[in-house]
Structure 1
Amino acid sequence: MDVIQIDSRRQVAEEQGVELGDLLVSYLRQLDVEYVFGVPGGAIEPLYNALARSERSGGPRAIIARHETGAAFMADGYAHHTGKLGVCCATTGPGATNLITGVASAYDNHTPMLVITAQTALSTFGRGALQESSCTGINTVGLFEHCTRYNTLVSHAEQFEHKLAAAVMTAFQAPAGPVHLSVPLDVMSSFSSTTEPSFDLSKLLNKPHYVDNEALDALYEELVTARNPILLIGDEASESVGSLLSLAVKLGAQIITTPHGKGLVSPYHPLFKGVIGFAGHESARKALLDPEVDLVIAVGSSLSEFASSGWDQSMLMNNRLVHVESAETNLTRSPMARLHVRGHLESIFENIVERLEHEPRLTICSVDDLVDGKKSSQPAEKGKHFEVMEPEKCKSDATPIKPQRLMAELPKLFPPCTRYMADSGASLAWSIHYLHPFDRRMAGKRDAHDGLYRTCLEFASMGWAIGSAVGAALARPGSPVVCIAGDGSMLMSGQELTVAVQEGLPVVFVVLNDSAYGMVRHGQKLTGAEPVGTELPFVDFSTVANAMGADGYVIQSPEDLLSLDINKICSQGKPTLLDVRIDPEEVPPIGMRTDALKSYGQSEQDCD
């Protein structure tokens, strides 16, 4: 663009306002959003022009993904680890459709995300324009309808601010989730009637904290009269986890987490009995089956299949359950619960903890009491207080390396503040069961976005962790980020490694390399299915990483792993890939899933 064009543009802007792309970026700056993740294209060019101008002035800037799905995964990771709005964008047609898997994952993850897609110019609708995706073409607004919480076409510049405000407010409502604005090329490049945002979105998002006082009183009575309570913590309890841990300590209540929630609780907590559900721990199952347990408080969990051991009625889904949620939709999963409590989770449990300080019916204990064994069923020992399967394999020196040993060693090698993202597949099962971040926080105030382990378990998209790790690294500069993925995931989405290279992010990609879709292969064996479609060609991912500009290492034995210079890896300004040649014969802890598949298949046969 030459000087005459720039001067002309400035004159128009002064007279008519700013382009909608610039106005959108001003709103993102208002929300303290730093990055917009996406892939550029002709129809979305006005937004990228605005982002280029914004970057020059120190405002939000573009992070260029290699695939639009990866962009959505990155926005998911950024949003989760900052509490801010995740933003991703794509051009019209295939750019928009490529976003859908990542947006659907954010929908199931309850991640607040603004999705901006382009359309061809309004005047071309219905005429077969290149990549037309209007209601007369490949209707992308229609395609996003069932994986967003707000979804609309902006057909006129005058609609833009109101629809943007409605979308962003909806993204943060409970349950949070992605919202979608589809903006035609000519609308995004048109001028607004104002040069500044008309609304203060940060104030609009500052909502009062509602609590059902009657239900809160009932919850308090349940807690103080329970003989042997259990707290079940899901990932949506992150805002209240400090108060929940304080509550557990005061009551001497056992703690269990869902697979999603495991990163919120120290595995060294004397009350922690492990993870329930998919790839969970026998100690957690035993705790829930204990007939002496008379109360189970589930907090921040949708109680989905993997979080409830397949909706097991003997363990969890019965009238011992009290379900505490901020999202009404989560409560629809537990109609059998004897009490539902709705409201802001941190407000609820801060109130409970404060009231317990003055409760004459209880002997309140401390962490020191628990360690000394004064309020627990048995004296606490140093280390973990839950059971894993085949613990001897966590110490095995065998080559190829056992995945159990790999997972046990990672938290010992990396700093305590390391965040782990686990991708779908066998790596998910191995990490849920055997990877335990070195977190020794027992109680007290916590950062709501400080969980050390995260996965995408509901929609379970392969490749999610690869993009999410990039977003997390941008969200938390200085904190190590480890992405655990299988070779199948890397072949599907591994190109996003180059985003970490380009941005200078020291993300560590740990690839479980067994030349197979491992979870599927073992699942077929366990269910008696035909062994088909699981073999992958051998790939030297360390060489691939080197070719992409990252450092690559081959790990075949525990000795190879322990010889790594982790301090150097975490401090250098580029990513590292560990190509871990795991023992392919080790069966991941996926029994809950395979048992369910067998039972569903048997049920279908019974109906024939």
Structure 2
Amino acid sequence: MTLTSTPNQIEDSGTQTQYEMSGADALMDSLRRHGVDTIFGYPGGAILPIYDAVFKAEQEGWLKHILVRHEQGGTHAADGFARATGKVGVCFGTSGPGATNLVTGIATAQMDSVPLVVITGQVPRPAIGTDAFQETDIFGITLPIVKHSWVVRDPSEIAKVVAQAFLIASSGRPGPVLIDIPKDVGQEMFKYVPVEPGSIKPLGFELPFAPEHKAISSALDLIENAEQPLLYVGGGVISSGAHETLAAIANRYQIPVTTTLMGKGAFDERDPLSVGMLGMHGTAYANFAVTECDLLIAIGARFDDRVTGKLDTFAPKAKVIHFEIDPAEINKNRVVEVSVLGDVGISLVKLLDLSNQRKTNPRTSQWLNKIKNWKNNFPLITPPKEGEIYPQEVLIALRDLAQDAYITTDVGQHQMWAAQYLLNGPRQWISSAGLGTMGFGMPAAMGVKVALPKEKVICIAGDASILMNIQELGTIAQYKLNLKVIIINNHWQGMVRQWQESFYDERYSASNMSVGEPDFISLSKAFGIEGIVISERENLIPQLQKALENEGPVLVNVNVRKGENCYPMVPPGKSNAEMVGI
């Protein structure tokens, strides 16, 4: 039974309206109250009572369940759903291998601060601890990679746990949480008392503090006196919806902006103030800028090793301001002069408000000229129009043909080329940055398309990483998800090959994917999905255009130059200024 109206709330000393129902039905009603209308998952024995309640919810018309072909695909789809919308993604898996198959997706969300509620079935309560069939301690396994987790041993706790789960997943620095529900808890009938969103908080839970005025003022003092400032922007600006305020600050003080892989889309990369992505495969001018700046303004970024290169040489001339919601990130990798702790969206609004009370003229004209010269002297590679198709050509073509598309990627060279050449709006760049999860892109694209069915959605994949979750072509076919999968096919694990060439004397151990590679077009057609192969340059744009205009899903296999390396590159152990390939 699913409730269709909210019961009257009674004072704490009294009682609320109660409903006789199973734990599984109570779970579904609690999810509905928290705005859930889409769940990604895969059934199994321990979670069958919950799937019976899912069946009823779908019959009632308020829920859409997407049957993935592997639980990892379910977590990535829920992740893509969350990144594209800002809502909490929800996925289900059964006990044992069903639960352990979720682990990679949970870790991916945790590293990239994505709000997920992951719900697993568990063996019945009397069987816990007996090594029962398909029993796994998923609570213990996932402790290091979730914000919080629960094992529900009493169905009367379900509503409270769900309310806490959504609050924790979505507040502060977002992240995944896990709820493990034994099979008999889902079956047990009890007197259900609904809990409304936000009406209950976990013991010891606190929302982030408001940023301190003194910290805001100190930050603004440094900004107003800097001659070579640089805004270093991470995923926190995306999750807090602060892109418009960021643009206002950048334009007011004429400060150039560089983004992390997670921060792509936070600032318009067509704006002259943009210097693109920094770090290992960032633009040369972004890495020169961070090396020469006298003030680094880090906003919602965590000084990741792929950004900093050799840490003690990162921004060596700069004072540092750090706008951050997570206290654990302050001074973790880089000691800063000023830290502004709190939601970065609120912090930037307060900074802009305070700046409007002061009369300040930008002091960065010489700095911007220096950056302009770097842009002219060290541009991204323009591939020659000869020989085999260059992988960069494919990304440039997609940039021109699908400017407003939501982009997901797998992980590898193609991911870095996509980050370099594509220009994305807020929440339109969706990529596994922190964990670097191969196989992320296609199921994430499914989640985006389910969430935003009217938007163009493109997955950029490699021929190696696409095989990690290739079975999700079945999900795409079942639900007729009109998304496009573009394989940049160089017949290698491209990034592994590049490192073996550069640092292992060209000993190409276990990185060639040619032998055993499937005929991707025949494979896609076996799933009932249109397939296109592109091997000649004159066919590239016409065939990509054909794929994008198709009303259904399409897989495009683009055969590209096999030995192309992704540059610029900061070699391991080197500073950002010591790039190769520029």
TM-score for both structures, normalised by structure 1: 0.84
Any unmatched runs of 5+ in structure 1? Answer: 1-13, 134-138, 440-449, 598-608
1:467 to 440, 443, 455: 443
Q: Does 1:431 align with 2:423?
A: no
* Structure 1 residue 244 displacement after superposition: 0.8
Partner of 1:377: 369
1:256-313 deviation digits (Å, cap 9, x = unpaired): 11122122222211111121112101111121222xx3211010111111122343x3
For residue 193 of structure 1, give the secondary structure of its aligned residue in structure 2: strand
1:169 to 164, 167, 170: 167
Partner of 1:100: 103
Partner of 1:547: 526
Contact 1:397 1:557 survives alignment (8 Å): no
Q: CA RMSD in A?
A: 2.8
Q: Does 1:22 align with 2:22?
A: no
Structure 2 CA distance for partners of 1:208 and 1:508, relative to 1, 3 Å: same
Partner of 1:240: 242
Partner of 1:4: none
Matches within 5 A, 1:576-591: 576-589=554-567, 591=569
More deviation, 315-324/583-592? 315-324
Any unmatched runs of 5+ in structure 2? Answer: 1-16, 576-582
Contact 1:403 1:582 survives alignment (8 Å): yes
1:69-112 deviation digits (Å, cap 9, x = unpaired): 11000111111111111111111110001111111111101111
Partner of 1:224: 224
Structure 2 CA distance for partners of 1:68 and 1:582, relative to 1, 3 Å: same
Matches within 5 A, 1:214-293: 214-238=214-238, 239-290=241-292, 293=293
Partner of 2:509: 532
1:184-239 deviation digits (Å, cap 9, x = unpaired): 10101222412x52233489799687222221121122222222321111111112
* Structure 1 residue 385 displacement after superposition: 7.7
Amino acid at match of 1:589: Y
Matches within 5 A, 1:316-327: 316=315, 320-327=319-326
2:113 to 86, 110, 113: 110
1:244-265 deviation digits (Å, cap 9, x = unpaired): 1110101011111112212222
Partner of 1:604: none
* Structure 1 residue 128 displacement after superposition: 4.2
Contact 2:309 2:573 survives alignment (8 Å): no
For residue 33 of structure 1, give the secondary structure of its aligned residue in structure 2: coil
Matches within 5 A, 1:161-560: 161-194=159-192, 197-201=194-198, 210-238=210-238, 239-290=241-292, 293-311=293-311, 313-316=312-315, 320-360=319-359, 362-363=360-361, 376-377=368-369, 387-391=378-382, 393=383, 396-414=384-402, 416-437=403-424, 450-528=426-504, 530-536=507-513, 537=515, 538-560=517-539
* Structure 1 residue 172 displacement after superposition: 2.1
Contact 1:30 1:202 survives alignment (8 Å): no
Contact 1:317 1:334 survives alignment (8 Å): no
Partner of 1:11: none
Instruction: Give the distance between the partners of 1:585 and 1:91, measured in 2 at CA.
Output: 43
Instruction: Give the distance between the partners of 2:32 and 2:549, measured in 1 at CA.
Output: 30
Instruction: Give the distance between the partners of 2:454 and 2:19, measured in 1 at CA.
Output: 43
Instruction: Give the distance between the partners of 1:66 and 1:317, measured in 2 at CA.
Output: 48
Contact 1:270 1:385 survives alignment (8 Å): no
Instruction: Give the distance between the partners of 2:94 and 2:77, measured in 1 at CA.
Output: 17
Instruction: Give the distance between the partners of 1:576 and 1:125, measured in 2 at CA.
Output: 45
Structure 2 CA distance for partners of 1:428 and 1:202, relative to 1, 3 Å: farther
Amino acid at match of 1:420: I
Contact 1:232 1:258 survives alignment (8 Å): yes
* Structure 1 residue 524 displacement after superposition: 0.6
Amino acid at match of 1:390: I
* Structure 1 residue 129 displacement after superposition: 2.9
Contact 1:269 1:385 survives alignment (8 Å): no
Instruction: Give the distance between the partners of 2:208 and 2:261, measured in 1 at CA.
Output: 30
Partner of 2:45: 42
Instruction: Give the distance between the partners of 2:316 and 2:53, measured in 1 at CA.
Output: 51
Amino acid at match of 2:166: V
1:361-415 deviation digits (Å, cap 9, x = unpaired): x1379xxxx9xx899538989xx88944432x1xx3334210111111111011x
Amino acid at match of 1:563: P
1:446-474 deviation digits (Å, cap 9, x = unpaired): xxxx3322321211111111211111111
Instruction: Give the distance between the partners of 1:155 and 1:38, measured in 2 at CA.
Output: 22
* Structure 1 residue 146 displacement after superposition: 1.2
Instruction: Give the distance between the partners of 2:432 and 2:68, measured in 1 at CA.
Output: 19
Amino acid at match of 1:458: G
For residue 328 of structure 2, give the secondary structure of its aligned residue in structure 1: helix
1:530-576 deviation digits (Å, cap 9, x = unpaired): 3210122233212211111111111113322211363773561x311
Aligned length: 550
Instruction: Give the distance between the partners of 2:529 and 2:246, measured in 1 at CA.
Output: 41
For residue 231 of structure 2, give the secondary structure of its aligned residue in structure 1: strand
For residue 152 of structure 1, give the secondary structure of its aligned residue in structure 2: strand
More deviation, 46-55/72-81? 46-55
Contact 1:424 1:460 survives alignment (8 Å): yes
2:154 to 153, 156, 162: 156
For residue 26 of structure 2, give the secondary structure of its aligned residue in structure 1: helix
Instruction: Give the distance between the partners of 1:128 and 1:380, measured in 2 at CA.
Output: 64
Contact 1:298 1:322 survives alignment (8 Å): yes
Amino acid at match of 1:558: R
Contact 1:322 1:339 survives alignment (8 Å): yes
More deviation, 102-111/254-263? 254-263
Instruction: Give the distance between the partners of 1:202 and 1:78, measured in 2 at CA.
Output: 25
Instruction: Give the distance between the partners of 1:28 and 1:503, measured in 2 at CA.
Output: 23
Contact 1:517 1:535 survives alignment (8 Å): yes
Structure 2 CA distance for partners of 1:385 and 1:155, relative to 1, 3 Å: farther
Instruction: Give the distance between the partners of 1:352 and 1:527, measured in 2 at CA.
Output: 45
For residue 464 of structure 2, give the secondary structure of its aligned residue in structure 1: helix
1:75 to 75, 78, 100: 78
* Structure 1 residue 590 displacement after superposition: 7.0
Partner of 2:11: none
TM-score for both structures, normalised by structure 2: 0.88
